[in-house]
């Protein structure tokens, strides 16, 4: 159950976009001559186009179901006369005045988890005429969305390209990791030139970790199609970790330059100061980025609710 809800949470946005696109494309809205028969015929077209839809039906402005369910399953062809005004999809569609997608809930017919997409239909004067609803089991929803997402050859081509880049970057991360380990084990003491080697090993390992995080994100999001919607602050987590690792590596490098120029070329220590200033600017930029995306995510989350 938990894995199903997690997968739904990941596919919520593309699922809503896809189902609402189907309803908007097929069913007329905000026109002067919209009749029940026209809406019913176009709803049948939606169900013929998407075989995964279990049932579709139409409500009036008061939430009364005015036709039996349209479904390929004869057992589902019921429901006319039922009042659905207490259902969440009716309330949301009427109050938000747009196509909505519900959270999963148990079906009254089968007991399985289903979701509903509902779209209000208005005439040209803005009067609410009907609410069109389609129901899908959660498994059928996953199948429909993934099938729609995989129909494009370009999408498959993009996944191959991203997988190639991810693999190449992974090899780079391995190269940096093994060189960092090799550099570390060649240190015999913590003094003199070996301190420089230790700093060098730390930089290599830090960059290796940053690139590995980038590879992980590319592979999960672009190849496997997973996205992080559990919490808005997690969406840009990898970018922050990557930039943070780069900043750490540069900070270590600037510290090495301070020691080096202080001992051998004091007149060149200004260059180390320049690098420290650049690191400071990067830290301020990263802080501004975190603040900006956090505020944007909070606003987006409020709008979705």
pLDDT, tens digit, 9 for 90 and up, residues 30-49: 998 899 999 999 999 999 99
C-alpha 237 chain-centroid distance: 13
Same domain, 190 and 122: no
Same domain, 132 and 23: yes
The yes-or-no verdict on residue 95 having pLDDT over 70 is yes
Please list, in sequence order, all residues whose beta carbon lies within 8 angstroms of the beta carbon of residue 41, skipping any fewer than 6 positions away. Answer: none
pTM above threshold 0.85: no
Give the pLDDT confidence score for residue 258 in this predicted structure: 79
Quote the number of domains for the chain. 2
Same domain, 141 and 158: no
Same domain, 136 and 159: no
Same domain, 35 and 95: yes
Residues 241, 217: Cα–Cα separation, whole Å: 11
Give the pLDDT confidence score for residue 126 in this predicted structure: 93
301 compared with 61, residue with greater pLDDT: 61
Give the pLDDT confidence score for residue 232 in this predicted structure: 45
Last residue of a domain, one of 149, 175, 200: 149
Structural domain boundaries, residue 128: 2-149
C-alpha 133 chain-centroid distance: 25
Last residue of a domain, one of 120, 149, 178: 149
The yes-or-no verdict on residue 194 having pLDDT over 70 is no
User: Residue-wise over 1-19: b if at least 16 C-beta within 10 A, else e?
Assistant: eeeeeeebebbbeebbebb
Same domain, 177 and 273: yes
Same domain, 212 and 293: yes
SS3 84: coil
Residue 88: which CATH number? 3.30.450.20
Give the pLDDT confidence score for residue 242 in this predicted structure: 74
Average pLDDT value for the chain: 83
Same domain, 282 and 241: yes
Average pLDDT over every residue of 125-138 = 95
The bridge status of strand 105-106 relative to strand 100-101 is: unpaired
CA angle 264, 267, 268 (to 5 degrees): 80
CA distances from 256 to 182, 193, 196, 271, 298 (A): 20, 11, 7, 12, 40
SS3 65: strand
Q: Output the six-digit token pair for 32.
A: 């002067």
Token pair 């809205």 in the structure block, residue = 29
Same domain, 193 and 120: no
Residues 206, 198: Cα–Cα separation, whole Å: 12
Last residue of a domain, one of 149, 166, 199: 149
Give the pLDDT confidence score for residue 186 in this predicted structure: 66
| DSSP 8-class letter at 53 | -
Per-residue pLDDT tens over the stretch 218-272: 887 777 766 544 444 455 666 777 777 788 878 877 877 777 777 777 888 888 8
Catalogue the E-assigned strands of the chain.
55-60, 100-101, 105-106, 113-122, 128-137
Same domain, 257 and 136: no
Give the pLDDT confidence score for residue 79 in this predicted structure: 93
H or E element that contains 182: helix 153-185
Same domain, 76 and 207: no
Same domain, 158 and 300: yes
Give the pLDDT confidence score for residue 247 in this predicted structure: 83
């Amino acid at each position: 159950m938990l894995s199903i809800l997690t997968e739904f949470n990941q596919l919520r946005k593309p699922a809503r976009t896809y189902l609402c696109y189907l309803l908007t494309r097929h069913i007329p809205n905000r026109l002067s001559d919209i009749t029940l028969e026209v809406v019913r015929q176009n709803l049948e077209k939606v169900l013929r186009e998407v075989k995964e839809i279990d049932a579709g039906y139409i409500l009036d402005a008061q939430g009364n179901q005015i036709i039996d369910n349209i479904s390929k399953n004869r057992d589902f062809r019921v429901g006319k006369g039922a009042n659905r005004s207490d259902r969440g999809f009716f309330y949301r569609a009427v109050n938000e005045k747009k196509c909505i997608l519900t959270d999963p809930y148990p079906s009254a017919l089968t007991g399985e988890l289903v979701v509903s997409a509902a779209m209000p239909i208005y005439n040209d004067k803005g009067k609410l005429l009907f609410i069109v609803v389609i129901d899908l089991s959660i498994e059928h929803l996953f199948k429909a969305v993934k099938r729609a997402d995989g129909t494009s050859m370009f999408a498959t081509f993009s996944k191959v390209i991203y997988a190639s880049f991810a693999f190449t970057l992974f090899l780079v991360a391995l190269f940096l990791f093994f060189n960092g380990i090799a550099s570390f084990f060649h240190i015999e003491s913590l003094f003199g030139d070996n301190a420089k080697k230790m700093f060098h090993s730390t930089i290599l390992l830090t960059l290796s970790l940053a690139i590995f995080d980038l590879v992980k994100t590319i592979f999960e999001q672009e190849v496997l199609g997973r996205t992080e919607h559990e919490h808005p602050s997690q969406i840009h987590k990898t970018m922050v970790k990557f930039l943070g690792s780069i900043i750490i590596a540069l900070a270590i490098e600037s510290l090495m330059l301070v020691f080096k120029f202080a001992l051998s070329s004091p007149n060149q220590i200004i260059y180390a100061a320049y690098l420290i200033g650049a690191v400071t600017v990067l830290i301020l930029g990263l802080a501004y980025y975190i603040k900006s995306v956090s505020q944007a995510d909070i606003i987006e989350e409020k709008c979705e609710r």
